[in-house]
Amino acid sequence: MTEFYLPLPNQSLEPNLPQRNHHIDSRELALLIAEAGDDRKADNIVILNLEKLSYLADYFVIMTGFSQPQLRAISLSIDNKVAEYFHLNPLRVEGKTEGNWILHDYGDVIAHVFLPSAREFYGLEAFWGGAERIAFNPSQTNQVQH
């Protein structure tokens, strides 16, 4: 379907689309998401490099929270930190109402925030076992050059 934009007085012809910074390094974004999770005490943070294995994303960032309020706090921390440093909003966020797995899709990087039972059930690390693991040292600030 073709979309048409009719300009109003003092309005640009360009549609009002989200601003994207096309110079974002996906590895830096993955590390920033891991930092955001660590800020809210996420556990067992794993970064998987999927570049050679999948067209879905370059990186998965997988982490665990221990309650639904903690999952929501981690999710909010990810939203805020990525917006602050990269001026980027997720393409979509899923699972906030269900509360056992929240997914943030940033295109090249997808963050998965799980309750322990959901993380074990879905087994993303096992499914993507051939992916390179990227080192992330929790509670060490400034891993990403802000």
Q: What is the pLDDT of residue 7?
A: 43
Q: In Å, what is the CA distance from 57 to each residue of 27, 49, 105?
A: 11, 9, 9
User: Using an 8 Å Cβ cutoff, are 38 and 65 in contact?
Assistant: no
Flag whether 21 is in a domain: no
Over residues 88-117, the mean pLDDT reads: 94
127 within a domain of the structure (yes/no) = yes
In this structure, the strands spanning 101-105 and 92-94 are antiparallel
Is the pLDDT reported for residue 46 higher than 60? Answer: yes
pLDDT band at 144 (very low <50, low <70, confident <90, very high): low
pLDDT at 142: 52
Query: What pLDDT shows up at residue 96?
Result: 87
Domain-located, residue 125: yes
- Comparing 20-34, 37-51, 78-92, 120-134, which segment has the lowest mean pLDDT? 20-34
84 lies in which domain range? 37-134
Our count of domains for the chain comes to 1
CATH assignment at residue 102: 3.30.460.10
For residue 19, being part of any structural domain is answered with no
User: For the chain, what percent of residues have pLDDT higher than 70?
Assistant: 79
